[in-house]
Each structure stands twice: as C-alpha cells, then as structure tokens.
C-alpha cells in the first residue's frame, strides 16, 4: 500500500473532532485509508458501506444502530446516500460528545452533501483526499510513469500499460454509466456526458467557453455548465479562477478547466505509453494540467491559486495569493529551454510579484538575471512551494 500524506492529519483530527469526513473521487483510496486508520484506533470501529444493501438495512433504525456502537468509531462509506443521517449524528454527538465517533467517506464535494455543513457545524473536520501525488509515489515508481498514468492507485500500480488502459476504460465507463446517476440522480445524458469527457480531455487547461461546448454537443449552455459543475463536485475536473483584481486592465475572467488526473487525460485522447505523449497534440496541455494538480494538492491551505490573462497579451499560468497579496507567479513549460515570454514579464509587472518561476519537466535549477527561477517540478514542489 502507498503511504498517503493525509494519514497523520486524519488521525489527529479524529483525536479532536467528533466527526471527520474524507472526501474525494471514486477509487482514490478513501476506503483503504479509513480501514488502515481504523486498525490503529483503541476504541475499535464498525464499517458500513451504504452501497451494500445489507449495510444500508442496518440503518433502517439508524438511531438504534448507531447508539449501540456509541463506544466505537463508526465508519460510513458513501455517506451522501443518506443525508438524513447528518441531523441524527448531530443529536448523538451532542448527547455524548467525544472525539472520533464518526469517520465519514464521500465521493462528492461538501456542497452536494446536503446538510453536512449546517447539521455538523463545529463538530466535523472535512478533508479532501486527492489522487496519489508526486511526493507520495514510492521510489519504485518513476515520475514519468506518474505523469503518464496519473494518481489513481490501481492505475499507477498496474503491471503493464495494457492493464492501466483496461482499468481506466472501466473507470470511465462505470463513472458515466453508473456512478453519475448514483451520485447525482437521473436526468444526465450518458452519450452527451461521454462526448463531453472526450472534449475535456482534448481541451484540458483551456479557458471555459460554455457556448462552444454546448454547440458542439447539441445542448444548451446551462446544461453543459451543470455537467461541468457535477464533474467538479465529483473531483474529476478542477476550475482555476481568473485573478482579476487589477481594474486598470481588460482581463479575461472565465475560469480555466483542467482534467485533474493526467492518466485520465491520456486515456481519453488515446495516448498509449509515456513516449507517445510527446507525439500527441495534448503534450503541453497535459503537462500544464499535471503541474497545476500537483501544486494544488501540495500547496499550503492558506494559498489560493489563480491564473492571469489580459486582452493585451499579459499571461501567467499560476498566481499564488495569500489573503489579498500576490506572493508568487509561475509559468509552466514542458521544455527546460523555453524562452520567457513578453506576456509573462508583463504579468509580473502588473501583479508586482517578488517570487517568480518557470516550472519545467526536467533541466537545471537556476536564477536568471531578471530574478526568475527555472526549476523542474519535483524541485519546485519539494523545495520552493513549502516556503511560499
């Protein structure tokens, strides 16, 4: 099993909060992590998977069942299936307030787990579990494989590329044909969603244009925007907002959209091995998506990420903001020899950033005469990102 960075923080939260929630994409490893943590808990645990009829039936009289196990940590998987449990858990926690009573696992974002924020406010700590990050991969797995296959545990540890492709094909089919209906209900066209995924894979890292997608797919702009929101809630895509504080400039304000897992991107566009990435049309956009996801996973929680682009040509891939202050800017380049664009210089001047980077795949780590640092992604996330 691959060790996960959030393990220690989850254990600490369970010592402080009556309820802890781990949210993340399907098949990201939430259940495995929860069961591993449960083995270390002195009070013992009970595990319920609400996708299993037998476990769901145990909660037909939920108050009675949960009260029977009040001395244990109750792990509830796919908790969003029974949102009515949240108000009950609040009452049970208030009757007997002690840490580590509930460990909740879910595959949709907090906004779609109705009532969790209101019902369990002050009683719950919510943590996102992402795919396996660059800093979590063991030494036996190369950085190149991580970029090609992405971070789903079954995908990155598959014995062969064919096994990886088969697993990813099954993940895509299951998510579109079953999971979307399960997580969000009916009213989702499977054929439109499948074509939407293909378009997102081919256009990852692009600025969102609902009208263009809607026209290509034969639906309305509100419909395709709803589909995008569902994929964001299911941790499939990431929206990167535009930084538009500078009112003196004509700024592009629409978000950029990234497919979060690079392995998913490569399977959607039929990249069959690592070398094939560089022969594809998505090499640059895939690399940008990969970098953004790694940075988003590993940055300090007090840092917000944006991109910056003006109609005049100034452009910056990543803007790091703490509070209202820009603390760093970064351009993402596949080549270590890429020249610094005029638009990036203009962005640095507009944003008055003191720490500026060119994040590359490989190459040297050095500072230019203009105080812009070239460095490979691995060095950036391990040496410079923690200091921002």
Which residue from 135, 67, 138 is spatially nearest to 101, judged by alpha carbons? 67
pLDDT one-digit tens code per residue, 357-382:
999 999 999 999 999 999 999 999 99
pLDDT one-digit tens code per residue, 271-322:
999 999 999 999 999 999 999 999 999 999 999 999 999 988 899 999 999 9
pTM beyond 0.85, yes or no: yes
Q: Average pLDDT for residues 144-152, to the nearest whole number?
A: 98
- Cα-Cα-Cα-Cα dihedral of 49, 53, 56, 58, to 10°? -110
The per-residue pLDDT of the chain, averaged, comes to: 93
Alpha helices in 41-114 (DSSP H): 53-58, 62-68, 85-95
């Amino acid at each position: 099993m691959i060790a996960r960075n959030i393990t220690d923080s989850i254990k600490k939260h369970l010592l402080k909060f009556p309820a802890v929630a781990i949210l993340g994409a399907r098949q990201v490893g939430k259940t495995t992590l929860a069961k591993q943590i449960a083995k270390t808990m002195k009070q013992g645990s009970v595990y319920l998977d609400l996708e299993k009829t037998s476990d769901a039936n145990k909660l037909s009289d939920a108050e009675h069942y949960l009260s029977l196990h009040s001395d244990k940590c109750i792990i509830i998987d796919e908790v969003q299936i029974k949102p009515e449990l949240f108000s009950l858990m609040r009452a049970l926690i208030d009757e007997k307030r002690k840490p580590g009573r509930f460990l909740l696992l879910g595959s949709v974002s907090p906004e779609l787990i109705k009532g969790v924020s209101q019902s369990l406010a002050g009683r719950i700590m919510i943590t996102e579990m992402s795919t396996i990050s660059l800093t979590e991969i063991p030494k036996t797995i190369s950085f190149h494989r991580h970029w090609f296959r992405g971070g789903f545990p079954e995908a990155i540890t598959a014995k062969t590329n064919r096994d990886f492709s088969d697993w990813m094909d099954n993940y895509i089919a299951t998510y579109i044909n079953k999971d979307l209906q399960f997580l969000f209900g009916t009213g989702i066209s499977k054929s439109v969603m499948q074509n939407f995924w293909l378009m997102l894979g081919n256009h990852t890292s692009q600025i969102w244009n609902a009208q263009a997608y809607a026209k290509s797919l034969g639906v309305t702009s509100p419909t395709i925007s709803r589909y995008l929101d569902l994929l964001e809630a299911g941790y499939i895509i990431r929206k990167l907002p535009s930084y538009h504080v500078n009112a003196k400039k004509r700024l592009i304000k629409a978000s950029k959209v990234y497919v979060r897992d690079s392995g998913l991107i490569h399977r959607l566009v039929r990249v069959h091995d690592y070398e094939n990435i560089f022969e594809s049309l998505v090499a640059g956009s895939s690399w940008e998506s990969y970098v953004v996801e790694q940075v988003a996973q590993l940055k300090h929680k007090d840092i917000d990420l944006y991109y910056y682009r003006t109609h005049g040509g100034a452009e910056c891939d990543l803007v790091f903001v703490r509070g209202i202050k820009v603390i760093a800017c970064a351009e993402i380049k596949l080549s270590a020899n890429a020249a610094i664009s005029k638009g990036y210089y203009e962005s640095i001047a507009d944003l008055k950033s003191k720490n500026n980077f060119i994040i590359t795949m490989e190459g040297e780590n050095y500072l230019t005469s203009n105080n812009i640092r070239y460095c490979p992604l691995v060095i950036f996330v391990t040496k410079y990102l923690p200091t921002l």
